[in-house]
Amino acid sequence: MENIKSLNKEIFVDSEEISQIVTRLAERINNDYKDKDPVFVVVLNGAFMFAADLLKQIKVLSKITFIKLASYTSDKSSGTVKQLIGLNENLKGKDVVIIEDIVDTGLTMQSLRKQLLALDVNSLEIAVLMFKPHKFQCNYPIKYIGKEIEDPFIVGYGFDLDGYYRNLPAIYQVKE
C-alpha cells in the first residue's frame, strides 16, 4: 500500500487531449452507424470512464450493455480463458461495438471477440482508447483506436494499478 500511495508517475495524456481523442472517435462512430441501430458492449471495469465520455457524444439510437471478463483456468491444456459475465442483451443480428480501455497483447480482446462472434452478430467492431501495437500478438482488426502508444504502464482515466487510480481525470505513465 505504501508503494501504491507514493507511486512515481508523470502526466502522459492530459484531459484536453483525451477529450479531443474521444470527440474524434465519436464523430467517426456517429458517421459509420448513422443508419444502424448499434449495441455498445462496454468492458468493465477499465473502460467505464472512456465509455461514459464517448457515449455522451453518440447521436445514433443505440443500446448500451456492460460486461466483465473473469480469468479462470479451465484445464492444463487450454490455459487461462476469459469468461464473459453479465451479458444480458440479445446480440443476434446486431451491429456490435466493443468499448475497451486498452489492447496490449490483444489476448483479452481476442477471447471476447470470439465469444461475441459466436452469438451470431451482424457485425462486430472494436473501439479502444489506447493500443500498444508493439505488444499486439493477434491479427484481428481494431477499427477505432484513440491513441497508439509504446509500452509505458499507464494509470488514471479508468486504468488501474491494483485497483487504484482509476478515478484520475488524466492518464499518467508509471515511472520506475
Binding footprint of ligand IMP on the chain (CB under 6 A): 46, 101-109, 153-154, 159
- The vertex-26 CA angle with 65 and 109, nearest 5°, equals 50
- The vertex-40 CA angle with 130 and 25, nearest 5°, equals 45
d(CA 68, CA 112): 10
104: annotated active-site residue:
yes
Residue 120 C-beta: closest distance to ligand IMP, Å: 25
Nearer to ligand IMP, 33 or 159 (CB): 159
Nearer to ligand IMP, 38 or 156 (CB): 156
d(CA 64, CA 165): 25
Nearer to ligand IMP, 71 or 122 (CB): 71
Residue 55 C-beta: closest distance to ligand IMP, Å: 18
Residue 122 C-beta: closest distance to ligand IMP, Å: 25
Catalytic position from the list 75, 95, 104, 120: 104
Residue 27 C-beta: closest distance to ligand IMP, Å: 24
Residue 15: burial class (beta carbons within 10 Å; 0-12, 13-18, 19+): middle
d(CA 23, CA 4): 32
Instruction: Confirm if 93 and 121 have CB atoms less than 8 A apart.
Output: yes
Nearer to ligand IMP, 33 or 102 (CB): 102
Q: Which residues are catalytic?
A: 104
